[in-house]
Amino acid sequence: MGTKERIPNSSGKIIEIINRDSDPTMWILNVYKKILFFKKKILSEWFSTK
């Protein structure tokens, strides 16, 4: 799987940082907006540490 870190925000957004074991140089940053009982992905950025 890899490393997954979730950081809640006071504005109702959830920031998620993912690093996969299959490619340890690739990082994925997802930002979700919480709406009632659901999460909507509003941003997805991919970064490489090469």
Distances in Å between the alpha carbon of 11 and those of 8, 18, 19? 9, 21, 25
Of 41, 2, 49, nearest in space to 21 by CA = 2
CB 23 within 8 A of CB 1: no
CA nearest neighbour of 18 among 8, 4, 32: 4
Residue closest to 46 by CA, chosen among 32, 25, 38, 34: 25
pTM of the model as a whole: 0.79
Domain definitions of the chain by residue range: 2-48
pLDDT in tens, 4-44: 899 888 888 999 999 988 888 899 999 999 888 898 999 99
